[in-house]
Structures are given as C-alpha cells and as structure tokens.
Structure 1
C-alpha cells in the first residue's frame, strides 16, 4: 500500500507530522498553522524551518477555501477546545452552523465541502472535551459525534495518558479516529459487537491495550437534530455519559470505562535530563526560594477580590522539587520564564534546584532535540510550544496501528 496523503490542521510545531512521518507510511500534502492573537507567527516559523514552506499555509483556516486544500486520505489535527454549541442562521441555506471562530466548524466545513472526503480522521483534544460545557456535560462531544455521523463517519475515541504507556510525561488527552462509510474499517466496526471492538479489535489496542473496569457498557442514540442536541443534551446537569473509551456508528454511542494494560519499559523524568553544563539562569536564586516554596505549598488563607469581597482559599501542596523517579507532570503553556510558579517543573541537581531546559521539555513530548530552537524564538516561547504540543510517541504508535489495520482489512476483502 502506498503512503497515505495527510492534511495537517492546527499544526503547531508539527507534532502530528513528526509522529506520522516517523512510521514511513504517511506524507503531509498540505498543512495549516495560524495563531490569531500574535503578529509574529512563531509556531509557523518553526514548522517551516523544519519541514519547508511548500504546501504550508500560514493564514486563518476560516478564510481558506476548501477548493485550495488538496485531496487527502487522512485529516489530522489537535484543534482548540472551545464551546461547540450550534447557532441557527436564517440567512444560511445550510440551516445549522456553529458559532463563528470555533475551529471545529472549520474541520466540519472542509469535510462537508470536499467532494473526495478524507477516508480517515485522526484528531486530538484535551480530555475535558468529553465533559464540556459544565452546564450540559458531554454536549460538545455529542455535537461532534452527531455531525461526523451525518457526514458518513464512524468514530472511536480513547483517553490516553502517555505516562501509563511508558512515555516520559503524565499528559492525558482524548484521541479520536474516524472512518468514512466506504472504508473496510467502517464496515468491520459496524459488524463487530461494541464491547469486542473496544477491548480487542480497536485500532487503539495495538499500541494502547486496555482492560475493562467494573463499570458496565453504556449505550444510547444521539438525537438526529444538531440544534436539539445543542439545546437539550444532558440538561439534567449530571455526569457526562461519555467514558474514556467509546465508539459511535450511525449515531449510536457505546462507551466503556477502561484501564491501561501495560507492562513495558517506563521512561522517568530523570531519563530526559541534560547531562552537560546548564546555563546559570536556569538555577533558582536562594532569594526566590521562599516564593517558590509558598506557591508549591498547601494554602488555607483568606483572600480578597478586587471588589473587596473576602473568601476562603485553599489548595493542596505539590511535590517540590519534582520527583525524578516518576514520569513528569503535564507541561503547560506557562512553563517558561524565571518567575516563581506553582506549575513550572523544578528539579534537584548536584548544583542546586533548577527549571527545565527547552530541550528537556521537547524530550518530555518526544520531539527531536532542539526541534523548536530557531533564531528569534525565546526559550519561554519554546516552552509555550511544548505546553501546547502533543506527545509524538502516541501519534507514531497510533499512526502505525491505523496503517496496519487498513492494510489488514484490505487484504481480507481482496481474499
């Protein structure tokens, strides 16, 4: 089978591309990265420096006409987590549209307008997506599943914490794969018992095997009307019905709570630390230590709002410095810079306490060393990239698994 042609949206610094191209089975034919809030397009500059400017677009995806995006086999991207509610528009002949500025609807538009729809989708988001918004838990994901069903896709999803499969960072994200109705995987999924698929046959299970927990299977049908889902889904404000593993075929959802089943090698925070000399600015000054200790420590105190209203504030302590014999905590976008912070990583070394280097943050996301190093890009910006990025190892494993699945089912059909 030839390489699959990839369209990479919300490309950032290219985590999806790295993971897929590492397998040798995928070729990116078009990519888009646009940061709306900045004049300098830093992530796009890194992307272009690493992969070249050919077929790379650095404009707002909402302004790109679908006809200008080449046909592709698989559409991938880690799209921003927003409010996916549906708005009606009398002026719009399509009837239902999502709110402008919500980038999920850009994916939806491309899938709707493409005459040759991509046969596969491979998307990523924060796991909060499964239970947002707080007023109607699970509604946003229900809208996505219903709209993909309407476009002819079956979807399977899995919440994966990279560290639970031996990777160096505790980073929990929801990944979902979708298959168009004319693919062999779709037909196979349609004919397989949901429980059997999720626990045994799923594309996820090659690289990310699971066991069933005590919780039983939940099944339900999604309403056909998107606006009705937007207005009424889980109005009771109970827990989200979407568990960490699931499938949706023809609008019918089956979902299950699973736990990881992994006994392989584990990478720890100590494994990724730089061995050579460390720039002095990464060490914590003794004068700043009390501030770090306060921010990392537990608190029970009375605080005041700007309006003068007093309230009780409490939070637990964090491990300080970070445990070297564990995978790291999740990198967030505010990781860079010298200022003391509750969430930045700090490690104990023979020369004192220090923050993590950008190259170490890259290793925690399994990027190549110095992938984001570029003239004009600050260390704080490099840290920001890694707070936004995904774990390349997950994409690589899932990409390899998907390619195997496609090849395997094609052979079965041909024989």
Structure 2
C-alpha cells in the first residue's frame, strides 16, 4: 500500500508550501521535483535558498515553459502545489481551429494547466492574491471563471477560500486565496457530491473542515451560477461576482461570504526578537524617523495629471508605529524600505524596522531560513511568501483525505 504522496512544487520561491507540508508530515509529503526561476535576473536567490534547504529533490532553475511534458508524464504525481502570479488569463481561438483555445503567452497558469493535463494528479493546491476573484476590473470574475472552467474540463472539482492568516492563529493579517482541486473519480469526490454545496462550504468541505467558519452566511451573500461550456465565451463575455468562499462541480458554481469562527490572532509583539539580538542597523535614525512620520501621516496634496488636470491627492493617517498587541499588517515585497507599507515597531523607546528573522516568523519559516541572501532580498522573498502555518493545516487535511481514500479503495477491491 502506498504510504506517501509524490509532490511537485511549482513557482516554489523559498519553499513555503514544502515547509508547511513537511511540518504536517515530512515522510508523507514526498516532494520529488520543484521549480523556481526568476526571469531577467542573473542572481537566483530564491532558488539558491530552496536548493540549500532541500538538496534531496530534483530542483529545477529553468523557465517552466521550457520543461518538457515528458518530465511530468513519468513522475506519477499525486499533488501539485504552487503560488502563481495574478495575470491576464484571456484566451483566443487558435488560427488552426483543431488546436482549440490558446491562452496568452507567458501566463503561468497555462503551465499549471499543461502539467495537470499530462500528469493528472489527484490533488492540486494553489495560492494567489485575493484580487484574483475580481479581475479584470472591466469584466469582474472573468479570469477566475476561466480557471474554474479549465479545471472543470480537466475533470476536477474545485473549492476555494480567501483566508486571513490572522484569523487562524498567526501574527499577520495576510489575505490570500487558496484553491484546492481534486479529481472527480476519487472516493472523496464521490462522497462530497452526495452532500449539498452549502454543507460543503460551511462544514464538510476541504476548507471548512480545516478552517472552521460560522454556519450563518455573512449578510446573506450567497450566489450560484453555471459557467458557459465554451471558455472563449467566458473570456469574451462572462462576468460574475465571486464571494470569498465557493465550490465548482461540473461547471456549477456556488459561492458565499463566510466568516471565520472564533478568530485567534497572535500579537506582533509575540514574534519579535529579544532586543539584545537586534543589530543596530535596523534602528531608525532621526532622518528616517522624520521621513516615516510624514509617510504614515495624513496628506492632502494638490497634483497635476499628465493631461494638465489638477486634482487633490488625499491619504488618511495611520499609527506612527505598528501596535505590538495586534497582528502585523500584510507584509509586502517593499518591507524594510522607506515606504508607508513597511512595519515600524517601537521597543524600549526606540523605533526600528522588523528584522529579516522577524519577517520569517510572520510567515512561519524557521529563523534564518533566508540567510543565504542579503537583507533586501530576504525582505523581498518574505513579502512574496505565504504563511506556512496555513499550509501545515491543509497538509493534515490532505493526509486525512488520502488515508480515507486508501481505505475506500481497499474496501472496493476486496472480494465479496
């Protein structure tokens, strides 16, 4: 009997998915292949970090579009994971009609589709920014609908949830959409299809069982729609207002606005290093203190657009420093720079940046995980990373599903 899942990690960064899955069960989640490539950059800091921590797998530092289908056909992949960019997913009919639909070149979702198509894993777990549900602004929901229809055509059921990491025991208010797709032929899928979609979204689904929600739908925001069969029609004409939680089965979509049950955040102050460990370079000088006071303060400035139109730019004020009794704000790739979004903490009367180690802690990485690179890139990589605690929780659920799946298959194959 198979006792682990073969995992492929795409757009791996510094390994957030793998850190979380291996924390759930290092032996059960067997990552056999990973890809990380930063285009137009000579230095491949994220890949070097990943490779240093995970030398046992095949780690690829090539453009994923240039990796052959055969690479994935021969792997017997069970689970594909990855955090991919939010891009324009519009499609067009190819010049040669028999080739069907073609996605815009360079869009990494189509590489996910290609890999899934040739390897057909049992499970797919993806992460993206939550604005994916609303893009593009002129045709709301089109891009996500194309994704759902793509997975429908590949034979998968899809669940999704926008999760604020701070609601489930972390120190960062980071909202991201997670997408879990599973093969319709699995016993787990068959069991799910016997339930109502409301039961799945509020109680028994992948996300509801991992991240409990209140059983009352937030402000009654609950919608259903059937996706057009033709993806080209979706690309050209379809729009829909998706809510933060939902499921798609055979093109039928049910989406609702759910709320976390008993949110339990960790204060920012709990993840700070002891001040005796903080290098002097992270403390603000007088010039920086003055600059941040301006950046974080309220503004009302008259500006002129390129066409000569005058307008008032206004911006509300924010706390001069980040409150230590609250979870941190969403960390961006600009963390650690002189930028309004950068966290500034005040400890023992002194103001400072978060250290790279504290940023690693905000995302649930071990201390000094990114010590293979300079401070600027350490901040950048953590701004790009996901919260590994969430992946750990999902890993436990996937392991439970697979254990039940194995038992179901064993029962089906037993002679009467």
TM-score, scaled to structure 1? 0.94
- Judged with a 3 Å threshold, the aligned counterparts in structure 2 of structure 1 residues 413 and 213 are, in CA distance, closer, same or farther, namely farther
Counterpart position of 1:298: 298
Q: Hey, what's the Cα distance between the residues in 1 that align with 2:375 and 2:60?
A: 25
Counterpart position of 2:202: 199
Q: Hey, what's the Cα distance between the residues in 2 that align with 1:213 and 1:15?
A: 31
Checking the alignment, whether the CA contact within 8 Å between 2:10 and 2:83 is kept in structure 1 is yes
Checking the alignment, whether the CA contact within 8 Å between 1:336 and 1:381 is kept in structure 2 is no
Checking the alignment, whether the CA contact within 8 Å between 2:7 and 2:79 is kept in structure 1 is yes
Checking the alignment, whether the CA contact within 8 Å between 1:184 and 1:410 is kept in structure 2 is no
Checking the alignment, whether the CA contact within 8 Å between 2:187 and 2:408 is kept in structure 1 is no
Moved more, 352-361 or 184-193: 184-193
1:379 and 2:379 equivalent?
A: no
Q: Give unmatched runs, 5+ long, in structure 1.
A: 235-239
Q: Hey, what's the Cα distance between the residues in 1 that align with 2:165 and 2:345?
A: 21
Q: Hey, what's the Cα distance between the residues in 1 that align with 2:125 and 2:220?
A: 27
Q: Hey, what's the Cα distance between the residues in 1 that align with 2:247 and 2:393?
A: 20
**Pairs within 5 Å for 1:119-268:** 119-211=122-214, 212-234=217-239, 240-262=240-262, 264=264, 266-268=265-267
Counterpart position of 1:335: 335
The offset of 1:318, in angstroms, is 1.8
**Pairs within 5 Å for 1:37-52:** 37-52=40-55
Counterpart among 91, 99, 102 of residue 104 in structure 2: 99
Checking the alignment, whether the CA contact within 8 Å between 1:210 and 1:258 is kept in structure 2 is yes
Counterpart position of 2:115: 110
1:355 and 2:350 equivalent?
A: no
The offset of 1:307, in angstroms, is 5.9
Q: Hey, what's the Cα distance between the residues in 1 that align with 2:236 and 2:125?
A: 28
Q: Hey, what's the Cα distance between the residues in 1 that align with 2:252 and 2:57?
A: 41
1:398 and 2:394 equivalent?
A: yes
Instruction: Output one character per residue of 1:78-122: Cα deviation in whole Å (capped at 9) or x when no partner.
Output: 0111011112221474210110000000011112233xx101000
Q: Hey, what's the Cα distance between the residues in 1 that align with 2:54 and 2:262?
A: 34
Q: Hey, what's the Cα distance between the residues in 1 that align with 2:406 and 2:76?
A: 21
Counterpart among 362, 367, 383 of residue 364 in structure 1: 362
Checking the alignment, whether the CA contact within 8 Å between 1:4 and 1:26 is kept in structure 2 is yes
Instruction: Output one character per residue of 1:43-101: Cα deviation in whole Å (capped at 9) or x when no partner.
Output: 00000011116411000001111211322100000011101111222147421011000
Q: Give unmatched runs, 5+ long, in structure 2.
A: 412-416
Q: Hey, what's the Cα distance between the residues in 1 that align with 2:177 and 2:324?
A: 26
What's the secondary structure of 2:382's corresponding residue? helix
Checking the alignment, whether the CA contact within 8 Å between 2:243 and 2:257 is kept in structure 1 is yes
The offset of 1:411, in angstroms, is 3.1
Checking the alignment, whether the CA contact within 8 Å between 2:200 and 2:208 is kept in structure 1 is no
Q: Over the residues paired in the alignment, what is the CA RMSD in angstroms?
A: 1.6
Counterpart position of 2:273: 274
What's the secondary structure of 1:112's corresponding residue? helix
Counterpart position of 1:237: none
Counterpart position of 1:15: 16
Counterpart among 85, 91, 105 of residue 86 in structure 1: 91
In the comparison of the two structures, how many residue pairs are matched? 403
The offset of 1:163, in angstroms, is 0.3
Moved more, 144-153 or 273-282: 273-282
Checking the alignment, whether the CA contact within 8 Å between 1:126 and 1:173 is kept in structure 2 is yes
Counterpart position of 1:65: 68
Counterpart position of 2:414: none
TM-score, scaled to structure 2? 0.93
